[in-house]
Structure 1
Amino acid sequence: MEATEVMTLAEKLCLTAAFVFFMTGLLTGIWKYWCMARSPKAAAPRYVDIAHRSSLMYSFAAVLLGWLASHSVHPDWLNTLGAVCALGFFALAIGTYIVHGFLRDTSNQLRKPYKLGASTLPSWMVHGFMVALIVAEVGGSLILGTGAMMAIW
């Protein structure tokens, strides 16, 4: 992108999210190392590891979404909506992993009973969140991806 080109809001959101997710990945990597260094088994809690890896993977996914947004033929408002949906749920997923890593309350957030610290979450809440996550991440990515595919083909 040349200095004279203006980024759309969707592109700005994707690039900002990529930076935030990448930094989260680096910082959770320090946390993971700290846990491993103090563990007799040299292992970090499962959700500390998942938070670290998912943050890094989502950072590059955000870059890809930004590239798709930059080429999309869809109107800016639709690209922004797609980016917000996907990125928002990427962030919520990472946040969930960090919370479980901090609380060390589960090794599988989808195993019954659904634990969050000392509390038990109702099934409808966990599965409702997962359905919303699927719709938002796939739907948002589909908006940006189809817009870019329409532009290149």
Structure 2
Amino acid sequence: MSLAEKICLSAAFLFFMTGLLTGIWKYRHMARSEDATSPVYVDIAHRSSLLYSFAALLLAAFSAHSVLADWVNTTAAVAALVFFAFAIGTYVIHGLLQDTDNQLRRPHRLGKRQLPSWVTGFFMLLLIVGEVGGALVLGAGAMLGIWQG
């Protein structure tokens, strides 16, 4: 098994466990709430963790079939997975702080602090490049592998 596959499967496990644990957190809010709801970002953290766990499995499958060099696959996997983790972490932080129901609403806030206007846009640009770029490299390597062989 390649290093990229090992990293992807490890991330899938961590994201899945985060999804299960945030599900407990979500349930506790729902059980205590008169309208049986949880804070927006508690719900988003729960759902995104579960979805990213399966996305990490997909990246592992792409890694397994990719004909690209191991270091290319590993770099691409890490790029995507790091931003998956950052996204989940951001949702958990907003869920804990209950500081917003839309992290992209201006002015951007983190707790009681207002973030500089460029921070969120710059982070989103990096996230797009890391997630889409990493997935594109692994997917393209896998497509080359399955259609050439």
Q: Which bracket does the TM-score occupy, shorter chain normalised?
A: over 0.9
After TM superposition, list the pairs within 5 Å mapping 1:4-153 onto structure 2: 7-153=1-147
Shift of 1:152: 1.0
Question: What is the TM-score with the length of structure 1 in the denominator?
Answer: 0.95
Cα deviations by residue, 1:34-85 (Å, 9 ceiling, x for unpaired) = 0011111110000000000000000000000000000000000000000000
Q: Identify unmatched segments of 5+ residues in structure 2.
A: none
CA–CA distance in 2 between the matches of 1:72 and 1:144?
A: 6
CA–CA distance in 2 between the matches of 1:122 and 1:131?
A: 15
CA–CA distance in 1 between the matches of 2:128 and 2:10?
A: 22
CA–CA distance in 2 between the matches of 1:145 and 1:85?
A: 14
Query: What amino acid sits opposite 1:106 in the alignment?
Result: T
CA–CA distance in 2 between the matches of 1:40 and 1:115?
A: 27
Identity between Structure 1 and Structure 2 (%): 67
Query: What amino acid sits opposite 1:131 in the alignment?
Result: L
Question: What is the TM-score with the length of structure 2 in the denominator?
Answer: 0.98
Shift of 1:86: 0.2
Q: Identify unmatched segments of 5+ residues in structure 1.
A: 1-6
Structure 1 stretches of at least 4 aligned residues deviating more than 6 Å after TM superposition: none
CA–CA distance in 1 between the matches of 2:16 and 2:116?
A: 32
Shift of 1:14: 0.2
CA–CA distance in 2 between the matches of 1:152 and 1:14?
A: 20
